[in-house]
Every structure is written in structure tokens, then in C-alpha cells.
């Protein structure tokens, strides 16, 4: 038995409407980011993608602030109202926002935060 087309075409993921969401500027008045100099992760313990992102952050020894949106439904509603309906939402220092990132996307964003190799400025070396 073939289901050819019975289910329909596979949906694009992530949806194109999420591709051009603005970085920074959300939730600043009613729920300010706890510490803009560090990573803030908005998620829920029941969320598999949130757990995956937390594992990657732990493996990279990245400091971050966890905001449990399951315990704070007003925060979840505000995320959704500001164009971030999926979790995790990860706010990086400098204001870059990732919504439901893949491990590769999160790793790339973390690499961009980390300073590159320091030049040896001591000529005696």
C-alpha cells in the first residue's frame, strides 16, 4: 500500500517565516534579559530541543541563564507575541537571537562569541 501524497508534502523546517526574525529588541520593557553580557536560554524541561541545546552549552562550558517558560507562562506568551513561538530561544551577548537552533547553528554562534587565538605580543616569546 502506498501513501503517495496522502499525507501531503513535507513541511519546510524551520518555516521560512522564522528566517528573518529581528535580532535583539524583544521583551526589553516587560521582561528584560537577566544579564545581557551572558547567554540567556528560554525553554522548558519537557522540551527535547531545549535539553539538547543545554547539553551543547554544558559541553562547551558556556555560562548561561536558564528561564523556565513552563513556570512563567507570561514570559512564554511574550516570546510568542514577539515572533518567537518555538523554544528554545537563545539570546547571545550582543543581542543575537536563535530560535530552536540546530546543534551546528548554536555551535557556530558560540564560536563567533569566543575570541580567536591571541597573538603572542612578547617578542622574547
**81 vs 9, more confident:** 81
**Is residue 24 within 8 Å of residue 97, measured between CB atoms?**
yes
35: region left, alpha or beta (phi > 0 left; psi from -120 to 50 alpha): beta
Q: Report pLDDT digits (tens) over 85-123.
A: 999 999 888 778 899 999 999 999 999 886 644 334 444
Residue 115: predicted pLDDT: 64
Q: Report pLDDT digits (tens) over 24-51.
A: 444 555 455 666 678 999 999 999 999 9
Q: For residue 50, with 0-12 CB atoms within 10 Å meaning exposed, 13-18 middle and 19 or more buried, which class applies?
A: buried
Please indicate, yes or no, whether the overall pTM of this predicted structure exceeds 0.75.
Answer: no
Top mean pLDDT of 3-17, 50-64, 105-119 is at 50-64
Amino acid at each position: 500500500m502506498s501513501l503517495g501524497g496522502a499525507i501531503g508534502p513535507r513541511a519546510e523546517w524551520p518555516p521560512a517565516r522564522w528566517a528573518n526574525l529581528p535580532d535583539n529588541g524583544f521583551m526589553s520593557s516587560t521582561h528584560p534579559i537577566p544579564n545581557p553580557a551572558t547567554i540567556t536560554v528560554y525553554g522548558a524541561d519537557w522540551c527535547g530541543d531545549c535539553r539538547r541545546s543545554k547539553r551543547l552549552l554544558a559541553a562547551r562550558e558556556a555560562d548561561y541563564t536558564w528561564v523556565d517558560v513552563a513556570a512563567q507562562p507570561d514570559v512564554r506568551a511574550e516570546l510568542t507575541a514577539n515572533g518567537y513561538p518555538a523554544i528554545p530561544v537563545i539570546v547571545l551577548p550582543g543581542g543575537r537571537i536563535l530560535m530552536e537552533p540546530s546543534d551546528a547553528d548554536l555551535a557556530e554562534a558560540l564560536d563567533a562569541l569566543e575570541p580567536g587565538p591571541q597573538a603572542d605580543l612578547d617578542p622574547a616569546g
